[in-house]
Structures are given as C-alpha cells and as structure tokens.
Amino acid sequence: MRKGQAEAIKYMERVIDQMALSDADLKAIIQRYTRKLIDQAFVYAYLGKSFQFSANSELDEKVSSINDEIRKEIFNIIYTRCKYADTLAHEKEAEEKSDKFLLLFLGSVIAGQTLQERINRYVSNMSYEIEAYIAAGLAKGMSRTQVLSDYLTWFKSPYKSPLLLDAFRKQGFKAERILSKGITFGSGIYISSFDNLVRLEQQTIFHAYNNTLNSIWLTKPEIIGWYTIRGSAYPCTICDDNVGVFHSKDEFFSGYHVRCCCILIPVYNTDII
C-alpha cells in the first residue's frame, strides 16, 4: 500500500458512515412531513375524487408552507452531514477548520442546479405523489392513518401501489399524478422523490469531503495532483479503469458515477509516478 493510502481509507470509511445515515435521515423527515400534509388535506375530505391541494386557496397556502418547512429541514440535515465530512477533510490534512470551502461548495451550481434547487424539485415531486395518494384514499373512504401507511409502504415506488394503479383506471380524479398515471422521464423509469433525495444527500456528503480535500491541496505547493483507489469491492469497470490515473490538482473529483466511493490519494512532488 502506497504512502497515505491507509489513512485515506480510514477517513473515507468515516465519510461513508455519514452517507449511510441518509436513508434514516430522510425517512424520519418524510414521515413527519407526510403526516402534516394528510392532516391538512383531510379537512377537505368531502372533495373525494376531486381532491387536489389547489382546490382551496387556504389549503394551498398551508401546503406551500409545509413544503418550505421540509425543504429547510432537508437542507439542514444535508448541511450537518457535509459539515462533519468537511471537518474530517480538514483533520486529515492537519488544517485549521474553516467553513469557507464548504459554504462555497453548497452554494455552487453543479450540472445547472444548486443543492437547494434540487431539493426544491424533489420536494415538489413528492408533494404531487402525496396528493395522488390522498385523492385515491379519499375516493375509497380510507382514513388518514391508512393513507399515510400506504404511502410510507410504497414511497420508494409510489406509482406501483395497488391504490394508485386502481385510481389510474378510473375517471373523475383531479390530482395531477393520477391524471398522468404517474410520471416517467426519458428512460421510461420513475425514480421516487425519496430515492432522489437519498442519492442527493449521499452524493453531496461525498462531494463535500472531496471538494474540501481538493481545495486544501490547491494551497499546498508540495502536492501536484491526485489519483484514486477503489473504496469498495463492488464490481465496477468505470472505477477500475481509473485506479492510479494521475490528475492535476486543479481538477476536482466528484465521483465517477452516482454512489461512487473511490478514494482520493494526493501525489507529492517527491513521488515517483
């Protein structure tokens, strides 16, 4: 094992521990959020099949307020996890802790969107999912507890629920995602809002850690670049093909693919490549 690899592996394991918390983080938030939306919606249970959040201006305002709450809560938990990862990067490099790299990163535009904009989009999609469940549940005379239970059972594949599949076959609904029979994108596959948020939290934690490492290395003249080693034993030709490939230190690493956990190793001007 080359210089610094053992230490880099040790720190990445701690970053991965933070990434592993994403599922539980978001399940807890989404359960609270869904319950709030359902409680507000059931005041208008008389709408039945015609239910949609925009059917009543007061309800629409309350839904917008709840959506704002969850957006803030999701951003805050991602910030908390990223702050820990940023601290690990400073500790690894024996640098005095500073938030400047993290704050710049969290506000940056990546592939056309900021972190906050991605959270906003996924929360909006989730709101449509929940609206569909409420409308379908009201049409069947379900209680708020039953609607909540059904959504939390199927929120990883929301449009495969028997409740919604039955609603898709019927007329008279106004909920957008029932009228459209769910939603798909170019691939024909719908990734649930929950899964998108989990991936976003995991990727942002991983990216924040590496962004801080890369930023610190830019300030060190003795470091000339970096390469990666595998961070897992999971078969991946993309990661395998990039092992040991030299990169200039002004090239920042965000992973070779979603859920990548390859490990950055600095290259010093005294190293022989």
| Mean pLDDT along residues 184-192 | 70
What is residue 227's predicted lDDT score, i.e. its pLDDT? 96
Looking at the structure of the chain, the number of domains it has is 1
| Mean pLDDT along residues 220-244 | 94
- Residue 120 included in any domain: yes
Confidence of residue 184 (pLDDT cuts 50, 70, 90): low
- Residue 10 included in any domain: yes
| Mean pLDDT along residues 218-222 | 96
| Mean pLDDT along residues 43-58 | 95
| Mean pLDDT along residues 204-220 | 97
- Residue 252 included in any domain: no
| Mean pLDDT along residues 182-210 | 87
What is residue 272's predicted lDDT score, i.e. its pLDDT? 64
> Please, are residues 192 and 129 in contact by the beta-carbon 8 Å criterion?
yes
Q: Please determine, for residue 115, whether its predicted confidence score (pLDDT) is greater than 90.
A: yes
What is residue 132's predicted lDDT score, i.e. its pLDDT? 97
Confidence of residue 2 (pLDDT cuts 50, 70, 90): low
- Residue 150 included in any domain: yes
Q: Please determine, for residue 185, whether its predicted confidence score (pLDDT) is greater than 60.
A: no
| Mean pLDDT along residues 139-157 | 97
| Mean pLDDT along residues 56-65 | 95
- Residue 167 included in any domain: yes
| Mean pLDDT along residues 69-91 | 98
Rounded Cα–Cα distance for residues 246 and 261 (Å): 18
Greater pLDDT, 185 or 18: 18
- Residue 102 included in any domain: yes
Strands across the sheet containing 263-268: 247-248, 223-229, 263-268
What is residue 3's predicted lDDT score, i.e. its pLDDT? 62
Closest by CA to 152, choosing from 180, 133, 179, is 133
Q: Give the residue numbers spanning the domain of 44.
A: 5-196
Confidence of residue 183 (pLDDT cuts 50, 70, 90): confident
| Mean pLDDT along residues 28-42 | 96
Averaged pLDDT score across all residues of the chain? 94
Rounded Cα–Cα distance for residues 87 and 106 (Å): 15
Confidence of residue 190 (pLDDT cuts 50, 70, 90): confident
- Residue 57 included in any domain: yes
Confidence of residue 187 (pLDDT cuts 50, 70, 90): low
What is residue 1's predicted lDDT score, i.e. its pLDDT? 54
First-last CA distance in the chain: 14
Q: What is the percentage of the chain residues whose pLDDT exceeds 70? A: 96
- Residue 124 included in any domain: yes
